[in-house]
Structure 1
Amino acid sequence: MERLRQDDPARIGDFVTLARLDADGSRSVPERRYLARSADGGYTALVCLPPPGGDPARWAAEAQQAARLTQPGFWPIVQLGGTPAFPWYISPYRPALPLPAVLAAHGGPLPEPLVRTLGGTLAEALASAHVLGIVHGGICPAAVLLTACGPLLGCFGAARANPAVGGSAAPAAGLDSGCLAPELTAGRPLDRAADVYALGAVLAYAATGNTVPELQEIPAGLRDLIAACRSRDPQGRPDPARVLAELLPGAAYGALTGSTERVSLPGRVVEALSRQSAEVLAVALPTQGR
């Protein structure tokens, strides 16, 4: 949770902005995300806007698609609004940290057992989307929001919404170039294999703090799987169900996403989630009765 800047909107629709979710100056965040409170003081939410330099119309179209993605494992969208030049969407607030903030709170890369649980849960969510013929198209560290009950995927369609993706060697604004499959920069369309490449980059980041680490930096137990996910040949990448099986052998498909069981998180991460919740409450209380 970060303080608002002078160029941040004071209000978005009927919501009063309280703080930024992402750290000031964060790079590779595919959208602007704010913690906000309804004007009547009765509802706290996460309000999202297109990233600076992004295409508002394409971002709004992706948000409409994301609102239909209601299966477990994805950050829910409950309201769309705004104008063509200033679109936004609303998600219900729950204490959550983007993956970069999780590593910052922990003080470095996450332990391998947590990386496996996180990656397996994301793989299961991704598999459920792919079964429906839906390609996420926005997986990156900032898109992973960790809650006390596990990770959720946001930033749906970030790659499709960014006109710099496809035939461009330059990093697209708001996107982590380490999460973009090589075929995308060659102009090929986004597909399920590109999602797996990005998932591999997220696993690498969680385990090392870098989306493109040297192979020897990756823990030995994760090295082969991450290398397979990040294969330059899309046909050589495993599907999400295989990723789940490799990360969590014996885990029953469907038992991770949507579970109400709390995930075992490092103490500093739990503290950061609790602190965010308390700070949001403290900031939001003065808006009561407005």
Structure 2
Amino acid sequence: MRIALLQMTSGIDPLANAAVLSDAVAEAAAGGAAMLFTPEMSGLVDRDRVRAAASITDEASDPVLAAMRAAAAEHRLWVQLGSLAIRRPDGRLANRGFVIGPDGAVRARYDKLHLFDVALPTGERWQESAAYAPGETAVVADTPVGPLGLSICYDLRFPDLYRALSDAGAEVLAVPAAFTRPTGAAHWHLLLRARAVEAAAFVVAAAQTGVHEDGRTTYGHSLVVDPWGEVLLDMSEAPGLGFADLDPAVLADVRARLPVLRHRRAIPPVERVG
């Protein structure tokens, strides 16, 4: 099953980002992909929260989501829209990913569970929880590439989520991201390969890359990893579209030879001694 990944450098104008995304749908369909995967915050990357607020709407009014639904329907393509900033009814924001079907309908939604509140050695500080509310539900969606477990960026550091997704039947794990350069260089490949091996699943990670209009820099290196931990695609740092083929026979072979999912046990209480 062929998939496409968009690696992009999203800016502060949602309509400009929507044009890039719509072009990617057309290109992915022309390239024979069954599904397109896009990065976290595909529609808007802007750390100036006052300026960004003017561009963030509720789901029904979001122009990027509308454009992607129209493009998916026009080209009869499934799309995993990595995430958008969406205003919730309570006024807080959600970092929300979508699965869009080839009819343009939203088939699944996922709000990022783990929020990026960190201080990096470079001096970068991020406080996602200052504006965003965490999600409350893990999601597996049926797609043509198999049952797809949804996650977003910082979720990658929490293996319990991926255990829950694979226990619920996920065979492919989506990890759209906007990883910083320092954390990406240190941990991106390591963590994605570990999640693939632990879950005996394909991992598809479409990423933001390069220097953005708001001044931040992201790591790139959109990856596809197979259930044995082999990297099938590494897009390095240039924006653009990449393709990879997911072979269900590889998944079946790995799970038969190393049946870690069947060997999982509930963890008993920890006894601390000494």
TM-score if structure 1 supplies the norm length? 0.29
Please state which structure has a larger fraction of its residues in strand. 2
TM-score, normalised with respect to structure 2? 0.31
